[in-house]
Structure 1
Amino acid sequence: MTASDPRALAAAFTEAYRRAPEGVWRAPGRVNVIGEHTDYNDGFVLPFALPQGVSVAAARRDDGVLEVRSLQAADTVVTVPVDPHAPEARRWRDTAPQRERWAAYPAGTAWVLREHVTSAPIGGASLLIDADLLQGAGLSSSAALECATALALCELYGAADLLAPAGRRELARLAQRAEHEYVGMPCGIMDQSASLLCTAGHALMLDCRSGLSTQVPLPLEDSGLRLLVVDTRMHHELVDGDYGRRRAECERAAELLGVAALRDVKDLPAALKALNDPVLRRRVQHVVTENHRVEAAVGLLRAGATAELGAMLTASHLSLRDQFEISWPGADVAVEEAQRAGARGGRMVGGGFGGSAIVLTPADRVDRVSEAIRAAYERRGWEEPRFLTAVAADGARRLL
């Protein structure tokens, strides 16, 4: 079975819980075209949703318990109170073994919804999860899991205001809050917004301060181009502190510059001159110029100059490598070898330090580019990378 097969997942739920689910919900992963580490700086991002994602089969239960199972962790069953203030819930958060920590994403989502939704209190539920996203590849499987869980619980318990188009922006904020409070990952709002708000054939131009967004056509196939995702197979857990340090550096720079967030820096040369710390100067330079690149990329797409997007991707990668200092050898090699093989450009994606890169390449050079990257990895004795041709798909929805 695949994670997009709702009937197979419903049958697996029935086998696991000895009753049928009340529905199956699915939320996609995402690829961010451009706009990295700008979201928590109140800036701009340009993600799109993938066909691959996370599906959740679910049914209510009346005992106040959240029971979570996953087909990717078949030997683990996590059972916690849906009330986050219950002693057992607190105890699990403090002492859960490593093999159960993945359940903090759906459990945290349930806990946040339980506290937020007052019109239709969120009760217990049985969940069975399946995913076809590459784990650890920087395609936001965690946000997809949060958003699929959120949709399921809101529909099961009648929180209709959060399911409406306008309510999805608030639902993204709640899913982000769950990751902050119960996972310990200080992520921005991009991943959850992309999972909930994207539409097929489009990228989402998102203003991370206001939450306002617009759909931007992404006609890659019509332009004879493909966006190739390269899973470098080099993984890094962002919860361990590097991501949080970058966010703290940005916040410190904003404080020293007297602005609410780095998005508000208008005169970059003056800002760089005002900062004594060379590390903070590099962080500011990346964030400010990356916001400009997002706006430029949107302009190129709207003008039909899709092929010119490649140069923007490469400029973003160099900034992430040299100014924000979060790239890693696998991404650097992938971008360099892809361009030598005829790609238009590329960059690392995600939080950094491991995961995936994206490469914009003419359709007739996909095989050549892939082989060039694969050969470069083999020469270095690295694990063979995995490739995925990214297609812009719809956001989270009910399947069954």
Structure 2
Amino acid sequence: MNIFNENKVPLKKIPLDPRVDRLNSFFNNEFKSKVDFFVRVPGRVNIIGEHIDYCGFPVLPMALEQDILVAAGILEQPELHIRNVDNKYSNFDCKITTFEELNIEPDNNGRPYWYNYVLCGIKGAIEYLENKYSHGLRLCVDGNIPPASGLSSSSALVSASTLSFLYAQHSIPNKSEIASLCARSERYIGTQGGGMDQAIAFLAEENSAQYITWNPLTATAIELPKNIAFVVAHSLAEVNKAASNDFNRRVVECRLAAKVLARMSGSSTNSEIITLKEVQKLFGKDLDEMICLIQKHLPKEAYSKNEISQLLDTTDEELDTLYLTPNTKNLTEFKLKQRALHVFQEAFRVQKFRDTCLQLKSLKNGECNGNETIDRIGNSENKDDYISEILGTLLSESHFSLKTLYECSHENLDLLVEISKDMGIHSRLTGAGWGGCIVALCPLSKVDTYLEKLKKEYYEKYCNVSEDCVQEYAFATTPHYGAVIYV
């Protein structure tokens, strides 16, 4: 059975796949019962547009072949039984009633248990259903997205859990609705993300990246040049966004920058203005003009909490309540200028990346129409190389900005970028940063040589990774499809 509606998560026949078979056997052995359905949600790599989704700006990710795969069994009683095929992850069982009573507690070190991400998804689903549901679930989870890699393993797990619970209740929102629901659900674990991970998980299409915009949530397929591959390489420095305040700190700094810019310009005291995109819309200025405005209105390298309170004509206590998250209330200094500069410059890079891909498509279709950029591409000796260099340069600029303005890189990531640069390959960190992966734009003709260089000069030299295991951490990939339910 294959049921397809472009606005709904597709229902497909259970595939003949060894991994599905293994998960099915694991479920049967664990629960002594049959699987009712499977859910697959992919990981993602963000090609460009880092740390700007929660500021309201478009991003350009693609879904990966790697995924979270869940086997689900429907229960008549309101219970959850959660298992993982990897025995290093503990089992979890509980009764469920209302979403208000479904508590999500971290471990003694303040770090989330792996199953907390499952609970986040289910808590969000129960809230969406207004506590009106009929069934509990048995769930077995298998994931081949490297954890804490910046490839959205945790968001994929939240999304797979939400989708599983809703399907068990015979209630499936459309793709945009469930993506937004899953983004909200992840905040139950303390992460103040912007929704990119969940959007690409549900809206992805095979062989295309997606240009994702917000309010309303939309995804536009972007055809990528045929002569390139995207290579993902894990730095092996793991990051958990929910286990520190680094990520939420950047979110807060961007919110405060938006509030201060609006206030200091004299254009608005609107309490609803909370993103830098809203500030840009308020001023009616393009991205270049917003960069100049930042230099004018946010001249300091850092602002104290008291200085920001004065600029916003509020108290420190009100600042804590209105703008800070529980794990950022202890902060005393905020870098508003640097964060806002990165956001507007990165938004410009996303725009240029998209436009360049669209211009290449127009050229192929013979739609030059006197466009200067298209004419320049058309007149170049090697159009593919010309386009690849434009796109690659944008990735390199993005990494430099993330390293210097957003301060979310890591020495391992920087080393991978330098090794790539030695081969003339452009790359950048992808995901939240502070560890995780880089994504590199690599000519197809260089993929094997590039992967070999990464193996020798990074994984064997610095990480003591055996040759057999390198392919788990560095691989070429193409855009994959989004979430699916197998029945």
Structure 1, residues 190-244: CA drift from partner, whole Å, max 9, x if none?
001111110000111111343122111234xx22x21110101011222211001
User: What are structure 2's unaligned runs of at least 5 residues?
Assistant: 1-15, 263-272, 302-334, 361-383
Structure 1, residues 62-118: CA drift from partner, whole Å, max 9, x if none?
22111110112366210123334576x43x636689897111111111111112124
2-structure distance, mates of 1:35, 1:94: 30
Q: Which residue of 2 aligns with 1:325?
A: 407
2-structure distance, mates of 1:388, 1:325: 26
Q: Which residue of 2 aligns with 1:50?
A: 64
Q: 1:379 to 1:30 in 2, by over 3 A?
A: closer
Equivalent in 440, 446, 449 of residue 368 of structure 1? 449
Please say if residues 107 and 113 of structure 2, whose CA atoms lie closer than 8 Å, have aligned partners that are also in contact. Answer: no
SS in 2 for 1:283: helix
Are 2:413 and 1:390 equivalent residues in the alignment? no
Q: 1:260 to 1:71 in 2, by over 3 A?
A: same
Q: Tell me by how many angstroms 1:35 deviates.
A: 0.3
Please say if residues 76 and 134 of structure 2, whose CA atoms lie closer than 8 Å, have aligned partners that are also in contact. Answer: no
Q: How many pairs were matched up? A: 387
Q: Tell me by how many angstroms 1:186 deviates.
A: 1.3
Q: Which residue of 2 aligns with 1:246?
A: 250
Q: Which residue of 1 aligns with 2:77?
A: 63
Q: 1:357 to 1:99 in 2, by over 3 A?
A: closer
2-structure distance, mates of 1:288, 1:86: 38
Q: Which moved more, 1:19-28 or 1:146-155?
A: 146-155
Q: Tell me by how many angstroms 1:389 deviates.
A: 0.8
Q: Which residue of 1 aligns with 2:197?
A: 191
The equivalences for 1:73-84 within 5 A come to: 73=87, 76-84=90-98
Q: Which residue of 2 aligns with 1:232?
A: 235
Q: 1:210 to 1:197 in 2, by over 3 A?
A: same
TM-score (normalised: structure 1):
0.90
Structure 1, residues 304-360: CA drift from partner, whole Å, max 9, x if none?
2651311111111111111111111111121122121132x1110010100000111
Q: Tell me by how many angstroms 1:380 deviates.
A: 6.7
The equivalences for 1:1-400 within 5 A come to: 5-73=19-87, 76-84=90-98, 89-90=102-103, 93=105, 101-118=113-130, 121=133, 123-160=135-172, 162=173, 167-181=174-188, 183-219=189-225, 222-223=226-227, 225-239=228-242, 240-258=244-262, 259-263=273-277, 264-265=279-280, 266=285, 267=289, 268-278=291-301, 279-304=335-360, 306-307=387-388, 308-343=390-425, 345-377=426-458, 381-384=462-465, 386-400=473-487
Q: Which has the larger radius of gyration?
A: 2
1-structure distance, mates of 2:337, 2:24: 52
SS in 1 for 2:91: strand
Q: 1:381 to 1:202 in 2, by over 3 A?
A: closer
1-structure distance, mates of 2:460, 2:137: 50
Please say if residues 113 and 122 of structure 1, whose CA atoms lie closer than 8 Å, have aligned partners that are also in contact. Answer: no
What amino acid does structure 2 have at the position aligned with 1:52? Q
What amino acid does structure 1 have at the position aligned with 2:206? A
2-structure distance, mates of 1:257, 1:122: 49
1-structure distance, mates of 2:68, 2:143: 4
What amino acid does structure 2 have at the position aligned with 1:369? Y
What amino acid does structure 1 have at the position aligned with 2:293? A
Q: Which moved more, 1:118-127 or 1:242-251?
A: 118-127
SS in 2 for 1:215: strand
What amino acid does structure 2 have at the position aligned with 1:235? E
Structure 1, residues 113-155: CA drift from partner, whole Å, max 9, x if none?
1121249626311100001111121110111112222222222
RMSD over aligned CA atoms reads 2.4
Q: Which moved more, 1:98-107 or 1:208-217?
A: 98-107
Structure 1, residues 169-199: CA drift from partner, whole Å, max 9, x if none?
1111211122102x11112200011111100
SS in 2 for 1:230: strand
What amino acid does structure 2 have at the position aligned with 1:154? L
Q: Tell me by how many angstroms 1:390 deviates.
A: 1.6
Please say if residues 190 and 208 of structure 1, whose CA atoms lie closer than 8 Å, have aligned partners that are also in contact. Answer: no
2-structure distance, mates of 1:110, 1:237: 21
1-structure distance, mates of 2:136, 2:442: 47
Q: 1:362 to 1:178 in 2, by over 3 A?
A: same
- Give the percent of matched residue pairs that are identical in Structure 1 and Structure 2: 26
1-structure distance, mates of 2:163, 2:18: 16
Answer 1 or 2: which has greater strand percent. Answer: 1
1-structure distance, mates of 2:108, 2:216: 36
2-structure distance, mates of 1:31, 1:3: 24
What amino acid does structure 2 have at the position aligned with 1:318? F
What amino acid does structure 1 have at the position aligned with 2:94? V
